[in-house]
Structure 1
Amino acid sequence: MNTSPAAHEQPAPAPAAEAGVLAPEAAAPDAPAVVGRTDPGRRTAHLALAAALACGVVGSTVVLYAASRTWSHGVAVTGGGSLPVHATGSQTTALPGALALVGLAALVAVFAVRRIGRYVVSALLALSGLGAAVVALSRRGDHGALNAAAATATSLAHATAARTTVTFWPVAAAVGGLLLLVAGVLALVWGSRWPAMSGRYERAGGAAGPRGRAPKPIDPERSEDLWKALDRGEDPTGA
């Protein structure tokens, strides 16, 4: 018995689309490839933040420590010989230490303000560092405090110190001031991209809590509810 060639032909397999399976190319022909990338500007802003914090803390610490050290020393000549005298940085001038404290406070305040306020505080930080450096260098050769120490040691009102020398601590204070200046410049350039302190007490809408939900009623008999209300910035007494 003759069989036709069509009988021996195998049925062609169903296309992937008919079988309910989509090829990867057909499923998402235009799907973009996911590539892990970081924003270079954001990374630079984070590095600038770390550098500003380091420069600000180290700079203010150096200025304050240098102000407590001996800036100049000499001898007070008396009828019976000579007496050694010295003057510290804070005795020579109190401005570098005061400006270092102002700069440290401005460094903290940078994260508590936004927009124009951040630029103003950053400028104050930079000016504090610049002022501390200029004052430390300009008063480096001032022997007024040393002469006052000589007058005290000899009990003579017009006594002056002789053989005076200046230590390296005024230069160290100037270096600390320059570090504060660098912190201020970094804050001026990159401060707008730095994070700010949490505004948990800036409650929009008055009564809405996190995610738009109203907070639970406060039970004055439960200390836990009272602490949670204080944490949200509310008055638990209801006054």
Structure 2
Amino acid sequence: MTPARERGLTALACAAGAGLALLAAGRVWATVRAAGAITPFTESVTGRDLGGTASALGWAGLAGLAALFATRGRVRQAVGALIAAFGAGIVYGTVVSVQRSHVVDVAGDKRALLKLGASPQMDVNLWWMVSVTGGVLLAAAGLVVLVRGARWPGMSARYERETAPAAASAPAAPADDAAGLWKSLDRGEDPTDHDRPAEPRR
């Protein structure tokens, strides 16, 4: 596999991981039912309601993806380390946010009647697992960048190869052009005479 292709596949994994985290963040992760409240009700909470960690780090992962193409060498490796940290943060933040005590507290903040209910029931769906999957993908892509990113070409490498020969073949201007011009003017000569066609001799 060529370095450019490897870079492209890693960028695709990075984009997929961040995208999954952002997609899951807006979906309902848990539902709390308060059957013993004065007025029984059901409250649903999304990933953003539970803290928004996955959403924030998902956007950070997309920013890291842009930096992946704009950097090279050790700077790109540092970007890879950050992307891996973003992915790990998504996984950790997601797992913590679906703990029962946290979900019940968040639902209670949204619906005060929940605090009057006896033994609220909580159901967690699989959207939080989608967020974890996105975090794992993002972390894996960041580790690949950290290990192999220094070998990948930069975004402007093709343009540098095209312009370098042209710059090398361009003739250098004589350093004494300005000095020679002033000397010819001092002698009373017209420095533009060489641009005129020579007149035929009679």
1:152/1:123 CA distance change after superposition, 3 Å: closer
Equivalent residue for 1:74, pick from 29, 32, 37: 32
Q: Give 1:144 shift.
A: 3.2
1:142/1:46 CA distance change after superposition, 3 Å: farther
1:126/1:152 CA distance change after superposition, 3 Å: closer
Structure with bigger RCO (C-alpha 8 Å, 6+ apart): 2
User: Hey, which bits of structure 1, 4+ residues long, moved more than 6 A?
Assistant: 199-202
Q: Give 1:98 shift.
A: 1.0
Q: Give 1:148 shift.
A: 3.9
Corresponding residue of 2:46:
88
Q: Describe how 1:101-180 pairs up with structure 2 within 5 A.
A: 101-150=59-108, 152-153=110-111, 155-156=112-113, 158-159=115-116, 162-180=120-138
Letter in 2 for 1:164: M
SS of corresponding position for 1:91:
coil
Provide, for residues 102-132 of structure 1, a one-character-per-residue CA deviation record: whole Å limited to 9, x for no partner.
Answer: 1111121022122221111110011111111
Give, in whole Å, the separation in 2 of the partners of 1:64 and 1:138: 17
Give, in whole Å, the separation in 2 of the partners of 1:148 and 1:125: 29
Q: Give 1:158 shift.
A: 3.6
1:181 aligns to 2:136 (yes or no):
no
2:13/2:137 contact within 8 Å kept: yes
Letter in 2 for 1:78: A
1:152/1:114 CA distance change after superposition, 3 Å: closer
Letter in 1 for 2:166: R
1:87/1:180 CA distance change after superposition, 3 Å: same
Give, in whole Å, the separation in 2 of the partners of 1:100 and 1:159: 36
Give, in whole Å, the separation in 2 of the partners of 1:152 and 1:89: 14
Provide, for residues 23-56 of structure 1, a one-character-per-residue CA deviation record: whole Å limited to 9, x for no partner.
Answer: xxxxxxxxxxxxxxxxxxxx25344223212211
Corresponding residue of 1:26:
none
Give, in whole Å, the separation in 2 of the partners of 1:174 and 1:182: 12
Corresponding residue of 1:39:
none
CA RMSD, Structure 1 to Structure 2 (Å): 2.9
Q: Give 1:178 shift.
A: 0.4
1:107/1:122 contact within 8 Å kept: no
Corresponding residue of 1:58:
16
Corresponding residue of 2:166:
211
TM-score after normalising by structure 2 = 0.70
Give the count of matched residue pairs. Answer: 165
Larger radius of gyration: 1
Provide, for residues 196-215 of structure 1, a one-character-per-residue CA deviation record: whole Å limited to 9, x for no partner.
Answer: 1228999xxxxx9982259x
Provide, for residues 53-93 of structure 1, a one-character-per-residue CA deviation record: whole Å limited to 9, x for no partner.
Answer: 221111111001111111110223432x4111011111112
1:103/1:128 contact within 8 Å kept: yes
Corresponding residue of 2:151:
193
TM-score after normalising by structure 1 = 0.60
For structure 1, list consecutive stretches of 5 or more residues without a partner in the other structure: 1-42, 203-207, 215-239
Letter in 2 for 1:125: I
SS of corresponding position for 2:138:
helix
